[in-house]
């Protein structure tokens, strides 16, 4: 636990201290590679997304035991609207079914929340999001944030526009406004560890501000193949690293 706290972001912002989830690690995941997973099996892309949902379930079940309090998953980026309409609708249908498992999340102590724009989503999906958020609001074992129609640049821009009349604002205040701009209701702790599967090494407009000092782990595995053991390995890698936040190494400071 000490090690974990030591690894907490020293620049941590204004999150809800009363929430036990907020004192644990914040892990962000870019679950990439569903399409390639399906193509490798001669299957249509939706089959990859379907298998991807099973991998999400595995992740959610494994996370609390690994000291993860907040898990933010990139589900659908604002740029993913550029995909074929049938794929977009298929992704929304999967998300709808996932949200309908709200009772199972509630039983696991998971608080599910969706961040990102809501206004462009189908009405039925918006309703399901609101219902599942309400149903699981008391969950304290894991804060599961799903980023849907999410663009970090847009969120930063919207937050900046809201602040335009303020002459001087702190990072803390900006993070609060950014939380509102991303419809997250308020800031989560900064990201400690960001994992991207699928072999690509980029952020694709995900949590740019919140990942300022995140440790990055890139996995060559395609998302549907990602197992709880892979998450554990990423966490082990995270704990091996020394987070310095611009300071000198701890061993040097101790001299
Ligand atoms: C990530 O897998 C899931 C979403 C973007 C929804 P992809 O669909 O991007 O899979 P690849 O990168 O084409 O293999
Ligand atoms: C990022 O993956 C978005 C999600 C995983 C939801 P993409 O597959 O859309 O990212 P790029 O296009 O390879 O950067
Ligand atoms: Mg991709």
Confidence (pLDDT) at 20: 53
Confidence (pLDDT) at 123: 98
CB of 81 closer than 6 angstroms to any ligand 2 atom: no
Q: Closest residue (by CA) to atom 1 of ligand 2? A: 204
Minimum-distance ligand 2 atom for the alpha carbon of 75: 6
Cα separation, 39 vs 118, whole angstroms: 31
Q: What are the pLDDT digits (tens) for 10-42? A: 333 344 545 554 569 999 999 999 999 999 999
Half-sphere CA count of 240, side-chain side, radius 13 A? 8
Minimum-distance ligand 1 atom for the alpha carbon of 38: 14
Q: Which fold has domain 2-240?
A: Undecaprenyl pyrophosphate synthetase (3.40.1180)
119 is catalytic: no
Minimum-distance ligand 1 atom for the alpha carbon of 45: 8
Confidence (pLDDT) at 22: 53
Angle between helices 228-240 and 45-62 (to 10 degrees): 60
- pTM comes to 0.91
CB of 36 closer than 6 angstroms to any ligand 1 atom: yes
CB of 74 closer than 6 angstroms to any ligand 2 atom: yes
Mutate to test the pocket of ligand 1, among 34, 93, 206, 224 (most ligand atoms within 8 A of CB): 34
CB of 35 closer than 6 angstroms to any ligand 1 atom: yes
How many other C-beta atoms lie within 10 A of the C-beta of residue 88? 15
All structural domains of the chain with their residue ranges: 2-240
Helix/strand/coil (H/E/C) assignment for every residue in 50-78? HHHHHHHHHHHHHCHHHCEEEEEEEEEEH
How many other C-beta atoms lie within 10 A of the C-beta of residue 14? 15
Q: Could you tell me whether strands 68-77 and 110-115 are parallel, antiparallel, or unpaired per DSSP bridges?
A: unpaired
pLDDT per residue of the chain (255 residues) written in tens, 0 to 9: 333 444 443 333 344 545 554 569 999 999 999 999 999 999 999 999 999 999 999 999 999 999 999 999 999 999 999 999 999 999 999 999 999 999 999 999 999 999 999 999 999 999 999 999 999 999 999 999 999 999 999 999 998 888 887 777 888 888 888 988 888 777 789 999 999 999 999 999 999 999 999 999 999 999 999 999 999 999 999 999 999 999 998 888 888
CB of 198 closer than 6 angstroms to any ligand 1 atom: yes
34 is catalytic: no
């Amino acid at each position: 636990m000490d090690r974990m706290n030591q690894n907490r972001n020293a620049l941590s912002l204004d999150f809800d201290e009363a929430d036990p989830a907020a004192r644990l690690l914040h892990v962000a995941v870019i679950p990439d590679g569903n399409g390639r997973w399906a193509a490798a099996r001669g299957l249509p892309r939706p089959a990859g997304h379907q298998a991807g949902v099973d991998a999400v379930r595995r992740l959610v079940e494994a996370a609390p035991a690994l000291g993860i309090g907040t898990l933010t998953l990139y589900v659908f980026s604002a740029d993913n609207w550029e995909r074929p309409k049938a794929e977009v609708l298929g992704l929304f249908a999967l998300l709808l079914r996932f949200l309908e498992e709200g009772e199972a999340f509630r039983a696991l102590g998971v608080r599910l929340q969706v961040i990102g724009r809501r206004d462009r989503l189908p009405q039925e999906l918006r309703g399901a999001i609101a219902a599942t958020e309400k149903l699981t609001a008391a969950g304290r074992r894991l804060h599961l944030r799903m980023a849907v129609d999410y663009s970090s640049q847009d969120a930063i821009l919207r937050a900046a526009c809201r602040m335009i009349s303020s002459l001087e604002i702190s990072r803390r205040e900006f993070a609060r406004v950014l939380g509102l701009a991303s419809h997250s209701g308020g800031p989560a702790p900064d990201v400690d560890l960001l994992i991207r599967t699928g072999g690509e090494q980029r952020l694709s407009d995900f949590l740019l501000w919140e990942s300022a000092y995140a440790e990055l782990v890139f996995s060559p595995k395609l998302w549907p193949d990602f197992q709880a053991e892979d998450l554990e390995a990423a966490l082990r890698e995270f704990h091996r690293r020394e987070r310095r936040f611009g300071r000198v190494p701890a061993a040097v400071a101790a001299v």
